[in-house]
Structure 1
Amino acid sequence: MSHEPAAPASVAAPAPGRPEVRVVHVGQEPPESWAAAVYLCGPTPADPAAPSWRPDAVEALRSGWSRAGRLVVFLPEPAPGDGYPEYPDQVAWEEDAMRRCDVILFWIPRDMARLPGLVSNIKWGAWCDSGRAVLGTPPEAERMDYLLHFAESLGVPVERTLSGAARAALREVGPGAVRTGGERAVPLTVWRTEPFRSWYAERARTGDRLLDARVEWYAPPAGPEGAAAWLLTATVVERAGAGPGPSVVRVLAAQGQGMLM
C-alpha cells in the first residue's frame, strides 16, 4: 500500500503541512479530513486497574508519523474521565471506524487467564483478508498458531513487538492521501488504484459529491505487476439539480479495469 501513483487534478492529494496525530476515542466523532487512519484492535483488560496497551501504541504511531498531514488513530476505549457508550452503540462505532480505516492494527498479547481476546478472534476473521490488516503478537502469546497461519497465507505483516507493529502500520500507510467528508470511507487500498481514480475524477469533473462508501470485497495484487481487485458501494450526490437525491452505485475493479454494476 505504500506506493502511490500520481493523482488526477480533480482528486485530493496530500497537502503540505506539519505532521499531526489525532486520537479519536469510542463515541467521539472523527475529524472531517485526514491523510491516514489506523484502528487499534485487540483485547482490552477487563480490570480497570490493569493498564491498556493502546496508549503505548499511540505513542509509537505518534513518534513514527513524520508525513505532512493528519494521522487519525481510532481507539475503542473511552477518553480519560469518560465511560463506555451503550453496548450496541459501541459496536456500531467500532464497525464504522474499522471500515473507514486504512490499516487495522491488531495487537493480541493473548493470555488465556487474564487477557483471552476472544472478540479479537472474530474481528481478525472479519478483516484478515481486507488488505488492511497488520498482526502484532508477542512470542509468548497463547493460542496464536491459527491466526499466524492465516497471516502468512494472506501476506499480512506480522510483528512480535508493539512498536514493530506500529512501524508496520505506518509502512502500509506510506505518505497517505488527504480525504475529506465521504472520501474518508475509501481506504488507501482502493483510493490509490487507477480504476477508482478514473471513476472518481470523472464524477468530480461533473460536480458530483461522494457521501459515503463501503468496500464490499477486496483482493490484493497477484504479484508485483498485478493490480488489486475490489468492489465498492458508493453513495453519491449528483451535481445540484441533476437528480432527486443521493444515489447508490457499485463500482467493480478487476484486471486493472473499472466498471459500473
Structure 2
Amino acid sequence: MQLVFADHPVPQTVTKSLFLAGPSPRDIHTIDWRHEAVRCLSDFDGTVFIPIPEHQFYAKSSDERVNSASWTYDGQTSWECECRHIADAIVFWIPRDIKGGMPGFTTNIEFGEDLHSGKIVYGRPDSAEKCRYLD
C-alpha cells in the first residue's frame, strides 16, 4: 500500500486507489479514524490518499500538528479535489460529533460534489450526529 498524504505530490501513475474522505480531528485528543482504516487496508496493494499532512497523521502532541510554512488552504483544497477526482473509490466515513471537534462541515460539500461520481462508499457510526440526509 502506498500512502499519499496532503503534503505529498500527487503520483503520476495510479493503478488502483482509495481516498479516505470525512472529517479530520481538530485536536490531538480526538482519535483520527483513518489510522484504523489504514490498519484494515493493510493487504491493499494500491494507493490510499489521506487528506492531511503526514506529520499531522503521525503527530503525538499538539506541537507536532502545526502546519509547515509551505502548507496553504488553497493548496490543500486543490490537492483534495485532484485526488478525489483520480481515486477509484472515495470512502466517506463520517463520525460527526459537533461539540466533540468533528463537525464535518467541509465533508458535506465534498460529499455533494462527489455524489454522482459513482465512486462513493459511505458509512458512519450509529452515534454520528445530523447525518440523516446523507443516509
CA distance in 2, matches of 1:40, 1:125: 15
* Residue of structure 1 in register with 2:3 after alignment: 23
* Residue of structure 2 in register with 1:138 after alignment: 125
Q: Structure 1: which 5+ residue stretches go unaligned? A: 1-20, 149-261
Out of 15, 24, 27, which is 1:47 matched to? 27
* Residue of structure 2 in register with 1:104 after alignment: 90
Letter in 2 for 1:51: I
Percent identical: 34
TM-score by length of 2: 0.83
CA distance in 1, matches of 2:31, 2:40: 16
SS in 1 for 2:37: helix
Trace 1:36-115 onto structure 2 (pairs within 5 A). 36-63=16-43, 65=44, 70-80=45-55, 83=67, 85-114=71-100, 115=102
Q: CA deviation at 1:58?
A: 1.3
* Residue of structure 1 in register with 2:58 after alignment: none
Q: Structure 2: which 5+ residue stretches go unaligned? A: 56-63
SS in 2 for 1:109: coil
* Residue of structure 2 in register with 1:204 after alignment: none
Larger RCO: Structure 1 or Structure 2 (Cα < 8 Å, ≥ 6 residues apart)?
Answer: 2
SS in 2 for 1:49: coil
Aligned length: 123
Q: CA deviation at 1:33?
A: 2.5
Q: What is the root-mean-square deviation in Å for CA atoms of aligned residues? A: 1.6
* Residue of structure 1 in register with 2:61 after alignment: none
Q: Return structure 1 stretches of 4+ with deviation > 4 angstroms.
A: none
Structure with higher strand content: 1
Query: C-alpha offsets along residues 54-107 of structure 1, whole Å, 9 cap, x if unaligned?
Result: 1111111223x2xxxx40000111112673611111111111111110000000
Q: CA deviation at 1:29?
A: 1.5
Query: C-alpha offsets along residues 191-229 of structure 1, whole Å, 9 cap, x if unaligned?
Result: xxxxxxxxxxxxxxxxxxxxxxxxxxxxxxxxxxxxxxx
8 Å CA contact 2:17–2:88 kept in 1: the answer is yes
Q: CA deviation at 1:25?
A: 0.4
8 Å CA contact 2:7–2:54 kept in 1: the answer is no
Query: C-alpha offsets along residues 95-129 of structure 1, whole Å, 9 cap, x if unaligned?
Result: 11111100000000111211111111111111112
Q: CA deviation at 1:30?
A: 3.4
